[in-house]
Amino acid sequence: MTGSTVRPPAYQQLADDLRADITSGRLQPGERLPPEPELCVKIGVSRSTVREALRLLASQHLIVTTRGVTGGSFVAHPDAEQLADGLSTGFALLTHSASVGLADMLELRRSLEVPIAGLAAVRRTDVHLAELRGALFDPTIDDFDTMMAAHAVFHRAMAKATANPLFELVGSPLYQASYGEEVTGVLPEGYWMRIDADHRRMLERLVARDAESATRLAAEHLDYIAEAVR
């Protein structure tokens, strides 16, 4: 049979329509969605279909649902860290495919981290500095996964210090990715000591609001990583 198309389930279609209203701005953060009975009548679907669509949107951090007399489903206020979860799956698939390698990841990191360092030096607050200090780690821990996780926390905090949530959104999936077995056996002696030292120097540049030195250090940091894992 030709020319036939498979229609998505009713809950999926409803979720797609509501998602379009949210992402287009027709429904604003904090705005309440129509009540479930109203959606049932308006769209001509069952209560279970509406609830399944709302569950799907909630899992994507697009809405929040509360109970009680004043409860209901409301458009979520954007949160970069939560929204980044939606990008992580696609990013992980690409980074574990043959078409994307370590050099590609480092190229993306350079395009993000160098300007991030300069902006963070200018825009950081005392709260951001406290978060960065809390992200410093003990470089003597002999566990690759632990070190990678600590490294990611520091760079996510750097992105947050730009006060531009788009850097945080784009950067989070990148820092969640693992270099994996590709580099675990080739890191030079003292690698994590150097990474830790760079982070501490970077923090000093942010404290001093020295954007020029911060961007230069970020570039040198990535040069070292590229050379070390080559």
On the question of pLDDT at 203 being above 80, the answer is yes
Rounded to two decimals, the pTM is: 0.67
Q: Using CA atoms, how far apart are residues 61 and 150, in angstroms rounded to an integer? A: 25
Examine the fold and report which residue of 75, 93, 117 is the final residue of a domain before the chain moves on.
75
- Looking at the structure, do residues 221 and 158 belong to the same domain, yes or no? yes
Q: Are 116 and 128 in contact (CB under 8 A)?
A: no
On the question of pLDDT at 181 being above 60, the answer is no
- Looking at the structure, do residues 173 and 192 belong to the same domain, yes or no? yes
Q: Using CA atoms, how far apart are residues 63 and 33, in angstroms rounded to an integer? A: 9
Task: Give the tens place of pLDDT for each residue, 119-157.
Answer: 999 999 999 999 999 999 999 987 888 888 888 899 999
Q: Provide the token pair at 163.
A: 């006060």
Examine the fold and report which residue of 52, 75, 98 is the final residue of a domain before the chain moves on.
75
Task: Give the tens place of pLDDT for each residue, 82-116.
Answer: 666 666 666 666 666 667 777 888 898 999 999 99
Give a yes or no: residue 39 inside a domain.
yes
- Looking at the structure, do residues 207 and 93 belong to the same domain, yes or no? yes
For residue 52, the model assigns a pLDDT of: 94
Q: Using CA atoms, how far apart are residues 49 and 47, in angstroms rounded to an integer? A: 5
Q: Using CA atoms, how far apart are residues 214 and 206, in angstroms rounded to an integer? A: 7
Q: Using CA atoms, how far apart are residues 161 and 98, in angstroms rounded to an integer? A: 34
Give a yes or no: residue 2 inside a domain.
no
- Looking at the structure, do residues 152 and 165 belong to the same domain, yes or no? yes
On the question of pLDDT at 161 being above 80, the answer is yes
- Looking at the structure, do residues 71 and 149 belong to the same domain, yes or no? no
Beta carbons within 8 Å of 188's beta carbon, 6+ residues apart = 228
Give a yes or no: residue 5 inside a domain.
no
Q: Are 95 and 176 in contact (CB under 8 A)?
A: no
**CA atoms within 13 A of residue 35's CA, in its CB half-sphere:** 7
Name the residue among 66, 60, 67, 77 with its Cα closest to residue 19. Answer: 60
CATH number at residue 156: 1.20.120.530
Q: Which amino acid is at 17?
A: D
Q: Provide the token pair at 149.
A: 């996780």
Counted domains in the chain: 2
